[in-house]
Amino acid sequence: MNAWTFPALRLLADGEFHSGEAMARALGVSRASVWNALEGLDAAGLELFRVRGRGYRLAATLDLLDRAAVLQALGLHASRFAVDVVERVESTNTLMLERAAEGTATGSVIAAEWQTQGRGRRGRPWHALPGAALTFSLLWRFEQGAGFLSGLSLAVGVAVTRALAALGVREAALKWPNDVLWRGRKLAGILIELQGDVLGPSAAVIGIGLNCRMPPALRARIDQPAADLASACGEAPARNHVLALVLIELAAVLDAFARGGFAPLREEWQRRHASQGKAVRITLPDGASASGIAEGVAEDGALLLATKAGRLRFHSGEVSLRGA
C-alpha cells in the first residue's frame, strides 16, 4: 500500500465499478498510480475485482470512518473528545502514548482504519482489516496514581457492554480481565497502558478493538473463536455511530471510576461475568495453574477463585483464564 491507497479505497467504498481513468482523474494521478495504489489489497484481505472495460470494484462495500460523522453522532458529548481519524498506523496505543507524553489533553481519541501492528494483551497481535473492525485508543487523565487504577480494564468492559446493549446486543459477557464475548466468542478486547507517577497524577491509554464485520480472510488469521457485530446485531451497524456510543459510555464510566474506583462498578461487572460460579483453570505465566470456582472479583478488580486450599486472588496481567 502507498499514499494513494486509502484515497482510492474511499472512491471504491460504495462497492460499484469505477474505471481507472475516472479514479485517476478524481485523484489527480496517472492510471498507473491508481494500479499501484490498489496493488496488494488482496494480500491485505480486501477482495478486489478487476474487469477490463469496467475498472475496479470491491467485493463488498466499505464502512469507512469519518471524523465529522463521529462528532455528529456524539452530539452534546462532542466537546469532551478530540477525535483524530487516521488511515494507517502501527498501533493507536503506541501513537497515543507518544502524544500523552507530550501533554495531549484528556479525552483525546485516535481511531484507525488499519493497524499494521495492533497489540492485544501480553503482546498478542490484534488482527483487523480496513472497514472490518473498530480500533481506537482513548487518553484519560486521573489525579490519582497507578495504584488507584486497579480494575480499570474491568470498568472499561462495563462501558463497552453498555454500548453494545444500546446497539441491541443482549448476550454480551465479560471475560476477566479484558475481553468482551458474545455467545462464548471474542467480540472485543481491551488493552490499557499507563503513564505517570505512583502517587499521581496518571494517564491511561485505553485501547479497544471491536470486531464489526469479519470476512473470511480475517477469520483465517485469528487463532481463537471470534464474533462480530454483524452477527450479534443481524447486520453491522455504522462504525462511526458505534464509536460515538462507546465513547459516550466510556466517559460516564470513567467519571464514576475517578470518583470511587472500580468498587461502584463491581456488581454490574459480575452480572456480565461469563465464568461467574463456574469451574475454571487459571494458568500462570510460569506454566503453573490453579483450578477452582470463579467467585467474581474483588473491589480492586482481582479475580477471586475458590480452591481446595481456600480463596485465592489473581491480578490482571498475571494469569489467563480458561474454562475447566
Confidence of residue 115 (pLDDT cuts 50, 70, 90): confident
The reply to whether domains 5-58 and 275-323 share a CATH topology is no
| 266 in catalytic set | no
| 322 in catalytic set | yes
Read off the pLDDT of each residue in 157-173 and give the average, rounded to a whole number. 96
What residue segments make up the domains of the chain, in order of their start?
A: 5-58, 67-270, 275-323
Please, which residues bridge with residue 18 across strands? 56
How far apart CA 250 and CA 106 sit, in angstroms, is 12
Q: Which of these CATH numbers, 3.40.50.80, 3.30.930.10, 1.10.357.10, 3.40.50.720, describes 67-270? A: 3.30.930.10
Per the model's pLDDT, the better-predicted residue between 5 and 116 turns out to be 5
Per the model's pLDDT, the better-predicted residue between 288 and 207 turns out to be 207
Find cell 503506541 and name the residue: 94
Burial of 132 from C-beta contacts in 10 A (0-12 / 13-18 / 19+): buried
How many other CB atoms are found less than 10 A from the CB of residue 87? 17
Among the listed residues 221, 271, 278, 322, the single catalytic one is 322
What are the pLDDT digits (tens) for 70-84? 999 999 999 999 999
- pLDDT reported for residue 285: 73
Instruction: Please give the CATH number for the structural domain made up of 5-58.
Output: 1.10.10.10
- pLDDT reported for residue 47: 87
Please, which residues bridge with residue 194 across strands? 204
Which whole-number Å values give the CA distances from 252 to 153, 222, 242, 246, 257, in the listed order? 15, 32, 16, 10, 9
Among the listed residues 141, 175, 186, 213, the single catalytic one is 186
How far apart CA 133 and CA 114 sit, in angstroms, is 9
Task: Using the predicted structure, report yes or no on whether residue 189 has a pLDDT greater than 50.
Answer: yes
Report which of 202, 221, 249 is spatially closest to residue 125, judged by C-alpha positions: 221
How far apart CA 204 and CA 193 sit, in angstroms, is 6
Read off the pLDDT of each residue in 257-274 and give the average, rounded to a whole number. 96
How far apart CA 65 and CA 229 sit, in angstroms, is 16
Task: Using the predicted structure, report yes or no on whether residue 317 has a pLDDT greater than 50.
Answer: no
Confidence of residue 277 (pLDDT cuts 50, 70, 90): very high
Read off the pLDDT of each residue in 289-295 and give the average, rounded to a whole number. 90
Contact by Cβ (8 Å): 321, 293: no
Confidence of residue 119 (pLDDT cuts 50, 70, 90): low
- pLDDT reported for residue 242: 97
Edge-to-edge order in the sheet of strand 279-283: 310-314, 303-307, 289-297, 279-283, 320-323
What residues contact residue 219 under an 8 Å CB cut-off, 6+ apart? Answer: 226
What are the pLDDT digits (tens) for 8-26? 999 999 999 999 999 999 9
Per the model's pLDDT, the better-predicted residue between 194 and 126 turns out to be 194
Task: Using the predicted structure, report yes or no on whether residue 323 has a pLDDT greater than 70.
Answer: no
Report which of 145, 75, 76, 74 is spatially closest to residue 111, judged by C-alpha positions: 74
199 phi-psi bin (left φ>0, alpha ψ -120 to 50, beta other): alpha
Read off the pLDDT of each residue in 102-123 and give the average, rounded to a whole number. 82
Find cell 462504525 and name the residue: 239
What residues contact residue 255 under an 8 Å CB cut-off, 6+ apart? Answer: none
Read off the pLDDT of each residue in 174-196 and give the average, rounded to a whole number. 94
Task: Using the predicted structure, report yes or no on whether residue 216 has a pLDDT greater than 70.
Answer: no
Record the pTM. Answer: 0.90
| 281 in catalytic set | no
- pLDDT reported for residue 123: 55
Percentage of the chain beyond pLDDT 70 is: 91
Which whole-number Å values give the CA distances from 155 to 75, 97, 149, 299, in the listed order? 24, 20, 10, 11
- pLDDT reported for residue 58: 93
Candidate from 110-119, 211-220, 274-283, 302-311 with smallest mean pLDDT? 211-220
Helix 67-74 to helix 239-260 angle (10° resolution) is 50
Is the domain covering 275-323 a CATH 1.10.3720.10 domain?
A: no
Task: Using the predicted structure, report yes or no on whether residue 252 has a pLDDT greater than 70.
Answer: yes
Confidence of residue 220 (pLDDT cuts 50, 70, 90): low
Task: Using the predicted structure, report yes or no on whether residue 302 has a pLDDT greater than 80.
Answer: yes
- pLDDT reported for residue 142: 97
Per the model's pLDDT, the better-predicted residue between 75 and 2 turns out to be 75
Task: Using the predicted structure, report yes or no on whether residue 261 has a pLDDT greater than 90.
Answer: yes
Among the listed residues 67, 121, 185, 219, the single catalytic one is 121
Task: Using the predicted structure, report yes or no on whether residue 324 has a pLDDT greater than 70.
Answer: no
